[in-house]
Structure 1
Amino acid sequence: MKRFLKPLCVAIISIAFMQCSNDKFNVAKDKVGELTPKTTVEELETIFKNDSIVKILSEGAKGNNYFQDDDKYEIYEKGGKHLLTLVPQDQLDSTSTIKSVQIFDERYKTASGLNINATFAEINSNNTISKVESSFSSATLFIDDLNATITIDKQDLGLKEFDLQKVSLEQIPDLAKIKTFTVWFN
């Protein structure tokens, strides 16, 4: 009996560790790793205690620039790899919750395997794309079941940049790559 107990304990601990490490990079509706719609800016230091946080702060409501940028919190691994960029709901407010999370690291993925390195074919086969919007340089795919947006560069679509030509799902090549992957918490 003792002979089986030690390997069984090692197996259980290994499975528990693998599950915890998978949760760190799990993406779902209202969840990116340990981040949820209830996560506040002040909690970021604790959540990413082993990583580096670069704060890019705006002037907030007191600024004179009408077209000012939002605050951004860029998360980097200690080795320098860019993981995420977070934008809070309210600027210059440490109690604010997170509005959006842009994903830069391929380890962050959904249960179906969707990550920043996915092709359009993988996105389309495992997710419901509710809408496609065109901008001057990209097409944005809206994925309601994740409350996420994915942009694809117009160059990957074989379309001219700086053209507002409407893009349909049928026009997007299967091998088109993701330019940005953002999960929204609103």
Structure 2
Amino acid sequence: MIKKNFITAVALIALVSFMSCSDKDKFVVEKGKVGKITKETTIKELKEIFKKDSISSKMSGSVSEDDYFKEEDEYFIFEKGGKLLLTITPKEQQDSLSLIKSIEIHDQRFATKNGINLASTFAEINTNYRLRVESTLLSVTLFLDELNATMTVDKEELGLKDFTIQQVSLEQIPDLAKIKSFVIWFD
């Protein structure tokens, strides 16, 4: 009787730990991986990966020869209840067998092994990753080469309100600056 209860308890513990690991994997962010999506995932496979969620898409229309003005297809992954989780852009437009170009993360449950997510401050990111910085008119882009990712910070977080491409250094970014966007690139 004790042996039977022991075996049942061990099986139950194994099942619970398997379920918690798979749930944790659902939100892991690594180089070449966001949740269950990897560099080898095709657009067609998204339906199976997110079968319990909802997928919406915005298609680019016709394929244009002019890459500068070309729109891109976008696939939006919504959790049950309507919360936007991810925006996925394929490498090839209007091709269900295309691999993924990039994933923009909209949910702070998606995090790196160091716990970096959309709710992280600049100080947390700067402590955990080596960063490069580039300025645009309205924001500063942080390049996390270790993850092949970019994060943006609004220039207003830096106290800059004018529309200039003035170069900003890492030292100029306040420790408590908040992240506006988080994108993982699959190239």
Indicate the residue corresponding to 2:171 in structure 1: 170
Indicate the residue corresponding to 1:43 in structure 2: 45
Distance 1:4 1:161 in 2: 68
- Give yes or no for contact 1:25–1:107 (8 Å, CA) kept in 2: yes
Counterpart residue identity of residue 101, structure 1: I
1:1-186 correspondence to structure 2 within 5 Å: 1-62=3-64, 67-129=69-131, 131-186=132-187
Structure 1: where are the runs of 5+ without partners? none
Cα RMSD for the two superposed structures: 1.6
Distance 1:93 1:182 in 2: 22
Counterpart residue identity of residue 12, structure 1: A
Distance 2:66 2:182 in 1: 31
Distance 2:10 2:137 in 1: 57
| Deviation digits for residues 30-55 of structure 1 (CA, Å, limit 9, x no counterpart) | 00011111111111111111111111
The alignment partner of 1:105 has SS state of: coil
Shift of 1:12: 1.4
Normalised by the length of structure 2, the TM-score is: 0.94
Corresponding residue pairs, total: 185
Structure 2: where are the runs of 5+ without partners? none
Aligned-residue identity in percent? 50
Shift of 1:64: 8.8
Q: After TM superposition, where is structure 1 displaced by more than 4 Å over at least 4 residues in a row?
A: 62-66
Shift of 1:61: 1.9
Normalised by the length of structure 1, the TM-score is: 0.94
The alignment partner of 1:19 has SS state of: helix
- Give yes or no for contact 2:64–2:70 (8 Å, CA) kept in 1: no
The alignment partner of 1:21 has SS state of: helix
Alignment CA distance shift 1:62-1:134 (3 Å): closer
